[in-house]
Structure 1
Amino acid sequence: MEKNQTYLLNLLNHNSINIENLRTFAEKNSVPIVDRMTLEMIKQIIRIHKPTKILEIGTAIGYSSMQFASIDPQIQVTTIERNERMQQQAIQNFEHYNFQKQIHLIKGDALEQFAAVENQSFDMIFIDAAKAQTQKFFELYTPLLKNHGVVITDNILYHDFVADIDVVRNRNVRQMVKKIQKYNEWLINNEAFTTNFLNIDDGLAISIKGE
């Protein structure tokens, strides 16, 4: 499996854009950004679904929002980040890679920033923030999602712990894994959305609103 993934990533590297240079920075500084195969899957979904307004919960250094925006100059991304250091890094990256006109950063905790976007509607929502709060993010922001819009949730397998919680010894991690398990079960049973799960990288959930 790892050989297959290495082979595919090497193929994708032929078409890599400069934003990918940020992955080295993220790895060196322990900044969590979306895994590469997961990113390519999301970008393909964007090409198929053609959203023009995307909401991202969890900006970090701006890597994924810039990757999304790079697909089409018509795409507008609103992204929310609570960490001040990440906010500053993201702003610098948006300016450096010339995405400041396509990406709008909202500073603050996503659970407290609904008022900043409540008058907008979105074609796609990407959730990649505090894992224990994922369901709250979903419930809070999906009323802004257009019918047939897509919600993508990252890290739904969390380092393989979700499928095998018995190996988790740390109490805090175990509690978080239980919340992710609960979220996955709630999501698959949410009749307002049709959801599929993908076993790539750290796990991905793709949910479509309505029928």
Structure 2
Amino acid sequence: MVLMIEFNALEKSARDRHIPVIFKEGITFIIAELKARHAHSLLEIGSAIGYSAMMMAANCEDLHIETIERNDDLYQEAKRHIQEASLEDRITLYHDDALSFDPQLLKGAPYDVLFIDAAKAQYRKFFEKYIDLVKDDGVVIVDNLDFHGMLEHPETIGNRNTKALVRKIERFRKWIVENDDYHVDYIPVGDGLCTITKAKHKLKLALHLNDASYLHDYLEMGVDRIIVAGPMSAYSSHKFSLEEIEAISARVPETYVMVNGLYDEHELPALRRLIDAYAKMNIKGLLFQDFGVLHYVKNRYDFRMMYAPNTLNTNYMTLNVLEDLGVDSAWVAKEIPLEEQIAIKKHTHLPIMIQGHGVQYMMSSKRHLLKSYAKAAHKEFNQDNVILHARESDYATHIYEDERGTTIFSVNKLYTLDLLNEMSVFDYLYIETNYMSAIEAIEVTHMYSECLKALNEVGVQEYVHKMKDYLPMLREISKPLDRGFLNDETLYRLEDVKRRDNHGAM
């Protein structure tokens, strides 16, 4: 056992040489946390000279530590200290960059504790790389979240690089606190610690709102996220005014607004004014597809940014790149099979929303096709409820026009009430209420809400029981229903393609 006086000398030596080591109050808290948890295994990111690993090992006799350090001089010094303290059998030291290190070389996973005290600008990347190595009931401890008080008093920072570093730490703090997958406790000791534990994963309910008069009912049902369309929104047959959106956001903590068009240059001034107006409301996030929206918001506002381009999110690699650009969540394309959608979710840390029920977006055009058709055909019709049939097919679609052009949705509604157990890996299940009456939207949302509560709070058997009761009712209330592309192996239905080939174009 290393004497405390030797640890004191080691800490003083490090501080005299400006080597960052954890404050004594911080390591004292961590040791108490390790003992309370009866921790046996710990992975440390950032060994420095070995001070924190040695303190933990010396005070927790059953604890085995693996620690990673990329700096050669610090690694060699840590190695020497650990050998001098005769702690080689309790502390395994790796010389590598933790971001490129192969986790398969680690011996103690899954770990009771992950301790991150390394390059502060990379905290989120460290966390995302190693969180899956932590036990479900384990804890992540992160140091230096105050960064010498600079996060609370950024006006005292003169150095540009330091300002950039502080912003990255602040973004990590904000991201982890707002991440529903984790429970975070901030500990105001040392240079600021936080403990992060895994929350039980739950598939939550998101709703495209088409009638604000029933907002209270949706909240009572447990709808977690309300998505609304407003000025300059796309792909919604109902739009709210700014005043209505402000009233909705005042009542709903998780209000997201669709700023999801592809915008022309002449529209940008109005678009920026609209986003500025949203920033004055209690709006949590924006759905977008035009990266001009992301560029304008970035470093200006704190909106959560959901990338929702309808048909484009078809692989996890794109999503992982977008995450680095500031995208906080994404909507996976529904035009690929459910199996592929699940694979995308399993390979990205981004929260993912998937459509669960409702009419399905098919295509859009900036041209006003209905007006052009009416003019060419010398016909007049009610453009608020037009049904389009493909030639030689009984498959029907809704078609409507607004200031952004023409949009087509299927008449058939996707349904997944009996697939919620498979879809529980996702973060949000989206109910599309375009072309639903208020009563249908309420009834459908109630069924999905009750089945999700049974699945999340009781278990699969209770969910199956409720689903079997509700499914016949769903088929009667919300029809016609189909599976969309969930079971398809190709983008187009082969039987439809063959029929059109035989009978001519649409």
Please confirm whether the aligned pair reaches a TM-score higher than 0.5, indicating the same fold.
Answer: yes
Matched residues in 2 for 1:125 and 1:158: separation?
Answer: 20
Q: Distance in 2 between matches of 1:105 and 1:94?
A: 9
Q: Counterpart in 2 of 1:24? A: 12
RMSD: 1.6
SS in 1 for 2:99: helix
Q: Quick check: 1:164 aligned with 2:174?
A: no
AA aligned to 1:143 is D
Counterparts of 1:5-154 in structure 2 under 5 Å?
A: 16=4, 18-115=6-103, 116-117=105-106, 120-154=109-143
Q: Structure 1 residue 74: deviation in Å? A: 2.0
> What is the SS of the residue equivalent to 1:70?
helix
Q: Structure 1 runs of 4+ off > 4 angstroms? A: none
Q: 1:206, 1:59 → 2: CA distance?
A: 19
Q: Deviations over 1:68-116 (max 9, x none)?
A: 1112332110000000001110111001111010000111110011332
1:4 is matched with: none
Preserved CA contact (<8 Å) 2:41 2:108: no
In structure 2, what is the Cα distance between the partners aligned to 1:73 and 1:129?
25
Larger radius of gyration: 2
2:175 equivalent to 1:175: no
Tell which deviates more after alignment, 129-138 or 17-26.
Answer: 17-26
Query: Which residue identity does 1:36 align to in structure 2?
Result: K
Q: Distance in 2 between matches of 1:38 and 1:74?
A: 20
Query: What residue in structure 2 maps to residue 185 of structure 1?
Result: 174
Distance in 2 between residues matched to 1:74 and 1:157, nearest whole Å: 31
The number of residues matched between the two structures is 197
Corresponding residue number in structure 2 for 1:204: 193
* Cα 1:118/1:188, change in 2 over 3 Å: farther
Question: Bigger shift: 132-141 or 196-205?
Answer: 196-205
Shift of 1:168: 1.5
- Percent of aligned positions that are identical: 32
Which one-letter code corresponds to 1:160 in the other structure? G
- Once structures 1 and 2 are overlaid, which stretch shifts more, 131-140 or 107-116? 107-116
CA contact (8 A) 2:21 2:51 kept: yes
* Structure 2 match to 1:5: none
Question: Per-residue deviation at 1:17?
Answer: 5.5
One-letter amino acid of the counterpart of residue 41, structure 1:
F
- SS of 2:67's partner is strand
CA contact (8 A) 2:31 2:60 kept: no
Superposed displacement of residue 118, structure 1: 8.3
One-letter amino acid of the structure 2 residue matched with residue 209 of structure 1: K
- Residue by residue over 1:16-49, the C-alpha shift from the partner in whole angstroms, topping out at 9 and shown as x without a partner, is 3633321121122221110011111111101101
Amino acid at match of 1:146: K
Q: For the residues of structure 2 that align with 1:177 and 1:55, how far apart are their CA atoms?
A: 25
Q: Any stretches of 5+ residues in structure 1 without a counterpart?
A: 1-14
Q: Distance in 2 between matches of 1:32 and 1:139?
A: 23
CA contact (8 A) 1:19 1:97 kept: no
1:112 aligned counterpart, secondary structure = coil
Look up the equivalent residue of 2:124 and give its one-letter code: Q
Q: Which amino acid in the other structure matches residue 132 of structure 2? A: P
Which secondary structure state, in structure 1, belongs to the residue aligned with residue 82 of structure 2?
helix
Aligned 8 A contact 1:114 1:140 in 2: no
The residue identity in structure 2 corresponding to 1:103 is I
Deviation at 1:119, TM superposition (A): 7.9
> Following TM superposition, by how much is the alpha carbon of 1:121 offset from its aligned partner in structure 2, in angstroms?
1.1
CA distance in 2, matches of 1:200, 1:138: 21
**Cα distance between partner residues in 2 of 1:17 and 1:101:** 22
